[in-house]
Structure 1
Amino acid sequence: MFENDAEIIAKVRRRELHILPRLMMEDSTIERAISPGTGRPFHFKDHPVRKIAVKFCYSGWEYNGLAYQIDPTPLPTVEEVLFRAFAKTRLVDAEAGLDGCGWERCGRTDVDTDSDLPSFDLDDDPPSNSSVPPPRTQELHYVSILNRILPPTIRVLAWSPVSPDFSARHNCQHRHYKYFFTARDLDITLMQRAATTLVGEHDVRNLSKLDPTKQLTQFRRRIIQADIALVSSQQQQGKDDDDAVYVLDLVGSAFLYHQVRHIMAVLFLVGAGLEHPSIVPTLMNVDGSERPLSQSDPPLPIVDRKPDYQMADALPLMLWECAFADSDVRWQTGEDHTGSGDGPDVRVKGDLYHQLHAVHQRSLVHTTLEAHFLAATARYHPPPPQYFPFSKTGLTMSTIPLLANNEPPVLGVPLGGGTYRRGVKYIPILLRKRLDHVEVANARWRTGKGSRRVERVDAAKNGTINDE
């Protein structure tokens, strides 16, 4: 990196956080902060604040990702909707923006919020300000307050008081992702063999999407667990085992951009029989440090630039857990009852469980209806021949039979979530076009989009926002 690259990137990020409230509130419905029931202006400086962490779940297909984006997006982001809920309920100062309220995310979110518990000791006299409400001994019911404002696709499950220096990102001990898929066209045994090679610390630049805006130069990440397990099977109902649902449990200390979706794309190719399980350690063999699957196998080729391949579908991907030390968080749900760890607290009032149970029931009905539609379609349109996985069909790319007109069939390579990449031939990953080297891509961004991004943020700033 050039001498001042890090400073430029940090400056851009600070400015984005400062101008966020103005960009978000131009078309928002957030009202001017008025104290409920009094009609008087609500001044955040007159109220105690505390830092909390929030645990939430969301339906990702309703949004344009989790993180707030400074550029317009087709759908709102989860972080944008969450911030608006915090602002509308006056738990944070909308005008201060994310940076002003200490907002930080790691699947969970921590933020400095308005509080019913004063920041001063309860035995002390309150500040000499007549507008400050009398101190209370009960905390705000953050879960119920936010869920009344948030759409049904985002649910706050619990909150925890945290120390002022707590960081949702840096205090996270590990992250746990889940990716769900069906067994159709796949050899699960081959996929598990390939997934096992992920465990340990590896350079995963070829198993992720390069994000030049972050100017990363270090791509080694540690995977703690990489297991594929059966979630449900239709065998007991006499149905095709292709409908069996599996899940990849991937646990690591940190992940690169779209790393899980790239890993799943390669595992799908292995499961279909289009790639050998050794493709995974080969793609991680950036500097020659990776070893083949067995001692009898030849040395792995060095792959210092990412081959061009399509990542897996986003629908079945879930960030399941962000793990923190027990000394950092103490999850609770409200009503002055503290849950034990992540376990349930049956004493807590509310219908959050019933809301999500109803969603689950409706999903089961939708699944059953779609199965009936598929069965009805099969009466008039027989299922096409199944070519994958090669380990079960006994085929190879060179032995796939031609159609009646001597044309090759259109093959559907699974990408997860019921999506496929269709084509009449398959090019092995190692024979595909290689993308630019990391250093080249980073330098191009610095001199191109990076410099224009600084100009765009400066224009949005319009001379009214202090960098400090």
Structure 2
Amino acid sequence: MTTSYENWSKEELIARLNLLESQNRARSPNNPPSSKPPKRTYSPLRNPPKREFHFGSYARRKIALKFCYSGWEYNGLAFQSAPTPLPTVESVLFDALVKARLIDPAAGPEGCDWEKCGRTDRGVSAAGQVISLWVRSAKEDRISGLEEDRKTGTDPGSEGLKQVSLSEEEDSSVVEPLDDGFGSLDIDDSEDNLVPRPPSPKGPRPELDYVSILNRILPETIRVLAWSPVAPTFSARFACKYRHYKYFFSSDHLDLTKMQDAASRLLGEHDFRNLCKLDPGKQITIFTRKVLHAEIVPVEDSPGTHVLNLIGTAFLYHQVRHIMAILFLVGRGHEQPAVVNSLLNVSEGLEQPREGEAIEVVSSKPEYQMADALPLMLWDCGYSEQDVHWLTDGYEPLDGKPAKPIEDGRGIYHLLYSIHARSQVFSALNLHFLKAAAAYFPAPWATTSDGTLGVRVGGGVTAEVPLGGGTSRKLSQYVPVLQRKRLDPVELANERWRNGKGFRREQRKAAAGVGYEEDDGGDE
């Protein structure tokens, strides 16, 4: 086909000549064609300029998030100011929220009113941990002043809040949430894909799919299970009615009846200073906590495994692991169930002995090792139905229309099922390793001189104290808990810390202009 140039302008003809010359050069033997594709020219439509994300251009709301995590993968739940050998759960979750642009990284956790229900230590897992915070919302009205909302207790999404309209100029610079249900989530961490989106002709959008958004970013060891809209004044910590912990253990060589007897003595309100870790740096003076339920039951579909279900309104630092350590001593026969009453009897007459039993006054904690962290799980955090109703993706349209049907869970169940199935394979393999060893090595269990179960070491039998998670401590001679060395009374330890390390820390804070933050010790 012949091209006619009669009506071409001068500029068009020059551009055409330049194109033909470049093609001739490319065909020349001295210039073999390149295997690389030609470089794309810049197009403002194809390559929009990167724009700063303005959180102030979006509505926000306060929500609660329920999530689970594998504790052995992390250095505990809580943020840490100093470097840690493993990441903390909160830091990983915070980074995911930032990447999804649900919270402003510049404001930090304090800027979104971040609160957790209860701390868990390194190695401790959770199936129902809860945090509350302010996040970006899909609501179409813009709001101003999160700090003002927090001070006045106004819900940024509630009616009556002053709305700020967008000018045409502002509209053109605002990146709206994408229509794929994942807001402005950008998995490749680039802003090139964030393009303006015109208002939906179908009316208000459903709320952001917080569960799916976060689970696409988070590692498999942390899964968001549900979210709930909450009031602006809601606190994940102080609104919690109860915490339910589970401690899993092998029932081999343990008297479960005696362990249950000992556990039942925890019910009610008691002073647990002898059944927790004492940290003078926290300056705790009140150790009274209320246990609502304490029961040992077999674990379904796991022969030989039992679990302590412990439910209370709140817990002290390492309280569950200390309780479990004493229950192991009772189950092995080293202690009688009444030892629990003595440890709770921190002053004369505080606890009443059962018929036929005698208890002691134990005003300061005896030395003993707490149980291992691996088998401990925060199973659930309980809230009033008026405060929290858990939702999954797409359940709460903002225009009051019926919620869309339940979806497939975004693969959460299947993922956790696969992880569980794989762990069963590892369990079977480890069991067969044990059976292979049994052909050459006899079981080490034997009875000690005092009639309790111990293990053979060398030519004799030594006492063994189980600590959970397959760990134990071997002792040449077992010393009853109530006969062991006692730690300093709480009052003395607190005073010594205030006059020493605490005084120096307060001086450093005063010099730096940092205020003192009270810490009640939190949960396990």
Offset of residue 333 of structure 1: 0.8
Offset of residue 399 of structure 1: 8.0
Are residues 381 and 456 of structure 1, via their aligned partners in 2, closer, same or farther at CA, if it must alter by over 3 Å? Answer: farther
| Partner in structure 1 of residue 330 of structure 2 | 270
- 2:354 pairs, out of 288, 294, 297, with 294
| Partner in structure 2 of residue 114 of structure 1 | 136
Are residues 290 and 404 of structure 1, via their aligned partners in 2, closer, same or farther at CA, if it must alter by over 3 Å? Answer: closer
- 1:66 pairs, out of 77, 82, 87, with 77
| Post-superposition CA distance 1:50-74 (Å, at most 9, x none) | 1110000000011111111223222
Offset of residue 455 of structure 1: 5.9
Query: What code does the residue aligned with 1:312 have?
Result: A
**How far apart are the structure 1 equivalents of 2:242 and 2:461?**
44
Offset of residue 120 of structure 1: 5.3
Query: What code does the residue aligned with 2:130 have?
Result: R
| Partner in structure 2 of residue 200 of structure 1 | 268
**How far apart are the structure 2 equivalents of 1:247 and 1:199?**
17
**How far apart are the structure 2 equivalents of 1:149 and 1:399?**
51
Normalised TM-score (structure 2): 0.72
Offset of residue 381 of structure 1: 1.3
Are residues 233 and 183 of structure 1, via their aligned partners in 2, closer, same or farther at CA, if it must alter by over 3 Å? Answer: farther
- 1:314 pairs, out of 352, 373, 392, with 373
| Partner in structure 1 of residue 416 of structure 2 | 356
| Partner in structure 1 of residue 41 of structure 2 | none
Q: What stretches of structure 1 of length at least 5 have no aligned partner? A: 1-35, 235-242, 339-344, 388-394
Are residues 401 and 284 of structure 1, via their aligned partners in 2, closer, same or farther at CA, if it must alter by over 3 Å? Answer: closer
User: Which range moved further: 257-266 or 372-381?
Assistant: 372-381
Query: What code does the residue aligned with 1:415 have?
Result: L
Offset of residue 214 of structure 1: 2.3
Are residues 187 and 293 of structure 1, via their aligned partners in 2, closer, same or farther at CA, if it must alter by over 3 Å? Answer: farther
Residue 397 of structure 1 pairs with residue 450 of structure 2? yes
- 2:166 pairs, out of 109, 121, 128, with 128
| Partner in structure 2 of residue 438 of structure 1 | 490
Q: Is the 8 A contact 2:250 2:304 kept in 1?
A: yes
Residue 210 of structure 1 pairs with residue 294 of structure 2? no
How many residues align? The count is: 407
Query: What code does the residue aligned with 1:365 have?
Result: V
Residue 448 of structure 1 pairs with residue 516 of structure 2? no
Are residues 37 and 304 of structure 1, via their aligned partners in 2, closer, same or farther at CA, if it must alter by over 3 Å? Answer: farther
Task: Indicate the SS of the match to 1:149.
Answer: coil
Normalised TM-score (structure 1): 0.80
**How far apart are the structure 2 equivalents of 1:288 and 1:466?**
39
**How far apart are the structure 2 equivalents of 1:63 and 1:270?**
31
The structure with the larger Rg is 2
Offset of residue 37 of structure 1: 7.4
User: Which range moved further: 225-234 or 42-51?
Assistant: 225-234
| Partner in structure 1 of residue 402 of structure 2 | none
Following superposition of structure 1 onto structure 2, how do residues 152-163 of structure 1 map, counting pairs within 5 Å? 152-163=220-231
Q: Is the 8 A contact 2:454 2:463 kept in 1?
A: no
Offset of residue 47 of structure 1: 1.5
- 1:96 pairs, out of 86, 107, 115, with 107
Are residues 49 and 410 of structure 1, via their aligned partners in 2, closer, same or farther at CA, if it must alter by over 3 Å? Answer: same
Offset of residue 418 of structure 1: 0.3
| Partner in structure 1 of residue 340 of structure 2 | 280
| Partner in structure 1 of residue 253 of structure 2 | 185
| Partner in structure 2 of residue 23 of structure 1 | none
Q: Is the 8 A contact 2:63 2:135 kept in 1?
A: yes
Q: Alpha carbon RMSD of aligned pairs, Å?
A: 2.8
- 1:327 pairs, out of 356, 378, 386, with 386
